[in-house]
Chain A
Amino acid sequence: MSEPESEPVTGSVNGSVSQPSLRAERVTVGYGTHVVLSDLSLTLPRGRFTAVIGPNGCGKSTLVRTFARTLLPRSGEVLLDGVPLGRWKPKRIAQRVALLPQSPVVPDGVTVRSLVARGRHPYHSALRQWVPGDQEAIDVSMAATGVTDLAHESLTELSGGQRQRAWIAMVLAQDTDYVLLDEPTSFLDLAHQIDVLHLCQDIRDRGRTVVAVLHDLNQAARYADHVVVMREGQVAASGMPSDVITADLVRDVFSLECEIGPDPQAGTPMVVPLARS
């Protein structure tokens, strides 16, 4: 946001200085007895806009939740700056990694501004519920997402697109290196989907790392600069969209026969399903 704030933080908890990084190392994650991710390793490339794609139920949400430590792995570790998340204070993690869940609870009577302000919580303590950077971080995030004029509207009374942008503003106000968004474009009309994707690129251009779970392969290929393809709790492929998104991969992962052509605007891979035979 303001330039000094977007400077990547380079300290780590035990004082040793290392390059900011977030990676999962051989994590196994599940719910109850149901294992979803097994032995998965993945590094989120810094300063990029990564799209996570994969069929329903393959573990995309589970993956991003694990990176934000809202789910704890049974084995393996997520490392932030090389230090396991378990050794970080929760608030320090929240100053570095922000997560917008797939379907957040929309509380009654909360205004947009009040929602965005709650993104500042990691910087507060019981005795200090306001810090000097708050005002600016809130204003800048609301301006960046175009919700400034909605500041005093109640969240429940907004359209889905407006509401989504308010949530993204909250996550931005958290002022983190890593911004994880679980399906930020779902339920939006096409124009608003593109808006959010542009916003993701803008966030990246300000030096942050963006990870978004997306369902539209063409959008992932065109707007993201790195894709992670998941299948049944494993990473099936990852890399540049033009390298990764192929007809074989789409057949493998989504069981869909398709033809890949260039996007007429950007030249990125575009998935065109075959006609039914």
Chain B
Amino acid sequence: MRPLASSTRSEVPPTRANRSGRVTPVSAIVLATGLLIVAGAVSLVVGNGQIGFDRVGMVLLGGADEYAGDVVAARISRTVMGAVVGAALAVSGVLIQGVTRNPLGEPGLLGVTMGASASVVTATALFGFTGGFASVWVALPGAVLAVAVTYLLGRQSGSESVIPLVLAGAVVSAVLGAYVQAMILVDPTTFDSYRHWVVGSLAGADFDTLRAVLPALLLGVVLAWVCTSGLNSVALGEDVAVALGVPVARVRLGSIAGATLLAAGATAAVGPIAFVGLAVPHLVRALVGADHRAQLPVALVLGAAVLVASDVAARLVAWPQELMVGVVTAFVGAPFLLAAVRRGKVTT
């Protein structure tokens, strides 16, 4: 090929080999998987119940007493639940930050958390639900409904700006938050059950709950995958995206729907868990850069690892007492997020 004009000019600085210090998506996934395996293994052997490493081994080999078997089964289900919920929240955060181009984006931004809270509170006050399996079927639609309202309020045809959407999310969350406050102030029993629900916990996790939310989560991941490439183009501005043949409105709607299903499913299963959906996407970007196609699988595994690790920490920090994982995530996530910020790698 004949050299073109520009390539003859030699003002190109010498390349600093991948100076952004990023890693390839594959090595990021390997890293996160390693973390997940370690955290998962530790998660099976720590916790109260006095079942140590040796007895866990016996259970897994099929030769232990019933008590040990029950304890280990409970640990397995909370570990699996932690991994699934962490993965869902992280991917949800990637989508929300991608679609709103907002570094503070997290699943609650568009009303998921407050939607779930408001419907749980309503159900408790009206029908006397006290958490457990019933709250799954209440929280999930509540969360989805809240985001639907946000979307309808914040949608502006022909407008490139996502600011109306974010503001609508803030309004919806504020109104629902005030409603929740009012309900729990007037009704002490509601308050009592709500305050257990509102700090997410993996302690009572079971596979029935997981099965109940799994369809929503799977659909959310599929939507996420379908939208990632479009999100990459939308990040270049609406004009460029349209010129690349991207259906911008559909990509936005699909991403929001996916993020909502993931976060709503996660919140319905274990209650609100803060920070994972905010911090993990930042860590993922610091690791693999701005390509959403690379971010998605890394977020999936890293989110799982972070939440399982947080749950292990929740069982250890106040030993022999247990804390709820929703209290601990910020403590576990903060150092990583801070490290990423300090290294100047946090971008939107």
Chain B 165-201 per-residue mask, 1 if CB under 8 angstroms from chain A, else 0: 0000000000000000000000000000000000000
Report the stretch among B17-25, B51-59, B60-68, B213-221 that lies at the interface. Answer: B17-25
Say whether B242 contacts A69, CB under 8 Å: yes
Say whether A90 contacts B239, CB under 8 Å: no
Report the stretch among B77-85, B146-154, B243-251, B302-310 that lies at the interface. Answer: B243-251
* CB contact between A199 and one of B5, B12, B17 (< 8 Å): that residue: B5
- Which residues of B sit under 8 angstroms from A266, Cβ to Cβ? none
Say whether B246 contacts A150, CB under 8 Å: no
- Cα distance A89–B170 when bound, in Å? 36
Give residues of chain B (5-21) contacting chain A, Cβ–Cβ below 8 Å.
Answer: 5-9, 12-15, 17-20
- Cα distance A10–B78 when bound, in Å? 60
B102 to chain A, nearest CB (A): 12
Say whether A109 contacts B290, CB under 8 Å: yes
A91 to chain B, nearest CB (A): 4
- Cα distance A92–B245 when bound, in Å? 7
Report the stretch among B42-50, B225-233, B257-265 that lies at the interface. Answer: B225-233
Say whether B245 contacts A146, CB under 8 Å: no
- Cα distance A111–B288 when bound, in Å? 11
B235 touches A (CB below 8 Å) = yes
B317 to chain A, nearest CB (A): 34
- Cα distance A90–B347 when bound, in Å? 30
A140 touches B (CB below 8 Å) = yes
How many contacts between A and B, using CB within 8 angstroms?
133
Say whether A145 contacts B6, CB under 8 Å: yes
- Cα distance A149–B7 when bound, in Å? 10
Max count, chain A CB within 10 A of own CB: residue among B12, B225, B285:
B12
- Cα distance A121–B17 when bound, in Å? 26
- Cα distance A98–B233 when bound, in Å? 14
Give residues of chain A (79-117) contacting chain B, Cβ–Cβ below 8 Å.
Answer: 89-95, 97-101, 104-105, 107-111, 114-115
A193 to chain B, nearest CB (A): 11
Known: A90-B247, A126-B226, A174-B244. A144 touches B4 (CB 8 A): yes
Say whether B12 contacts A146, CB under 8 Å: yes
- Which residues of A sit under 8 angstroms from B289, Cβ to Cβ? 109-111, 114
Instruction: Tell me the count of chain B residues lying within 8 A, CB to CB, of chain A.
Output: 40
B155 touches A (CB below 8 Å) = no
B240 touches A (CB below 8 Å) = yes
Say whether A91 contacts B6, CB under 8 Å: no
B128 to chain A, nearest CB (A): 45
* CB contact between B6 and one of A68, A126, A165 (< 8 Å): that residue: A165
- Which residues of A sit under 8 angstroms from B18, Cβ to Cβ? 152
Say whether A105 contacts B240, CB under 8 Å: yes
B318 touches A (CB below 8 Å) = no
Say whether A202 contacts B4, CB under 8 Å: yes
B286, closest chain A residue (CB):
A109
A191 touches B (CB below 8 Å) = yes
Say whether B291 contacts A114, CB under 8 Å: yes
A251 touches B (CB below 8 Å) = no
* CB contact between A129 and one of B4, B13, B290, B293 (< 8 Å): that residue: B293
25 sample A-B contacts, Cβ–Cβ < 8 Å, listed by A number: A90-B245, A94-B243, A95-B245, A99-B239, A101-B237, A101-B240, A104-B240, A105-B240, A107-B101, A107-B348, A109-B348, A110-B289, A115-B236, A118-B232, A121-B246, A129-B293, A144-B7, A145-B7, A149-B14, A152-B17, A153-B15, A191-B9, A195-B9, A198-B6, A199-B4
- Given A70-B238, A89-B245, A129-B293, 8 more pairs with CB closer than 8 A: A94-B244, A101-B240, A104-B237, A107-B290, A110-B235, A121-B244, A122-B245, A145-B6
